[in-house]
Amino acid sequence: MHTSKELIPQEACCTQYNIEVSFIRQLSEYGLIDIVTVEEKSFIHGDQLNELEKFIRLHYDLDINMEGIDAIAHLLTKVRNLQSEVSHLKTRLQIFNADV
């Protein structure tokens, strides 16, 4: 299990997941993965590996292009935000109903 502060070398990710460096670079260009450069070497935060694996499945298993992955990622973020807002509103409603 990787910690959020752990930096994973980009090359190690490519070897582990059998993907091209260009795929990670494209994810970074779309703002989907953050790449950290230290002494001219590229790294990915350990806490982004789950996202990376999800993008790998979308691209390599489902043959979804980068634009599609970007759209899916944005929609999933919106869904998570809406779910959080609904949960918050339910809590407020319960508090309001308890006071009545």
Cross-sheet strand order for the sheet of 35-38: 7-9, 41-45, 35-38
Please give the domain boundaries of the chain with CATH numbers for all domains.
7-99 (1.10.1660.10)
3 state SS of 7: strand
Which pTM value belongs to this model? Answer: 0.80
**Tens-place pLDDT, residues 18-63:** 999 999 999 999 999 999 999 999 999 999 999 999 999 999 999 9
